[in-house]
Amino acid sequence: MSSNEQATLVTADMADRKGVWGNERTSPPISESDIRKWAIATYWPEKPPSIYWDPDYASTTRYGGIIAPPDFNPFAWPVDRPRPRVATKRDKNSERRGQTGLNGGQTDTYGVPMKAGDIIRSRSRLKDWNERQGRMGLMLYTFTETEWCNQFDELVRTRISTGIRY
């Protein structure tokens, strides 16, 4: 094995966590005001679609009222922020391995739209990973799945985030 190659970047902690859902978070109830403000901010300087702010128009749609834009985040301004994971201790020879990280992007799949009054439950897990050799040595691609459901247990959004470490 050359000096820039190693057996694996997968830790025992990762293997233990694979497929295991973490603690759930619950949003405060979504308000029409939250939805309007989000829509105005994300569509600025254009006028947002009426479904996001006009209750008279929205009542004539199949949703029967205002819905949130798909990218709406009811967790955007939490009072209590989740604590970041603490890195596990590494031996001194592996201190630099796998420490450089890149955002590999994300893919969202949408279910039912969020509405005023909804309370969203979020949970995440390490879904999978794969390793391969790259120009910089061994690279680890991790796939984290985040799932949002409303109070009726209907799927609102699934996100697969890709992290890359080398």
Domain for residue 145, yes or no? Answer: yes
Contact 162, 98 (CB under 8 A): no
Report percent pLDDT > 70 for the chain.
Answer: 84
Task: Give the angle subtended at the CA of 103 by the CAs of 102 and 104, to the nearest 5°.
Answer: 105
11 half-sphere exposure, CB direction, 13 A CA radius: 16
* pLDDT at 42 (0 to 100): 96
Pairing of strands 121-134, 155-165: unpaired
Enumerate the β-bridge partners of residue 18.
126
The whole-model pTM stands at 0.79
Report percent pLDDT > 90 for the chain.
Answer: 69
* Residue 40, domain extent: 31-73
Task: Quick: pLDDT tens for 54-113.
Answer: 999 999 999 999 999 999 999 987 667 666 665 555 544 445 667 788 899 999 999 999
Q: In this structure, are 67 and 115 located in the same domain?
A: no
Q: In this structure, are 15 and 50 located in the same domain?
A: no
Interval 105-127 mean pLDDT:
97
Contact 106, 159 (CB under 8 A): yes
CA neighbor of 160 nearest in space, from 85, 103, 86: 103
Q: Put the strands of the sheet holding 121-134 in their side by side order.
A: 25-26, 121-134, 137-149, 155-165, 101-110
Q: In this structure, are 40 and 23 located in the same domain?
A: no
CA neighbor of 25 nearest in space, from 95, 69, 74: 74
Per the structure, the count of domains in the chain is 2
Domain for residue 78, yes or no? Answer: no
Domain for residue 90, yes or no? Answer: no
CATH number at residue 162: 3.10.129.10
Domain for residue 154, yes or no? Answer: yes
- pLDDT band with cut points at 50, 70 and 90 for residue 135: confident
Q: In this structure, are 22 and 60 located in the same domain?
A: no
Q: Beta-carbon neighbour count of residue 145 at 10 Å?
A: 16
Q: In this structure, are 135 and 156 located in the same domain?
A: yes
Q: In this structure, are 110 and 59 located in the same domain?
A: no
Q: In this structure, are 14 and 36 located in the same domain?
A: no
Domain for residue 93, yes or no? Answer: no
Domain for residue 82, yes or no? Answer: no
Q: In this structure, are 11 and 63 located in the same domain?
A: no
Domain for residue 79, yes or no? Answer: no
Mean pLDDT taken over the chain:
88
| CA dist list (Å): 11 to 1, 125, 126 | 19, 15, 12
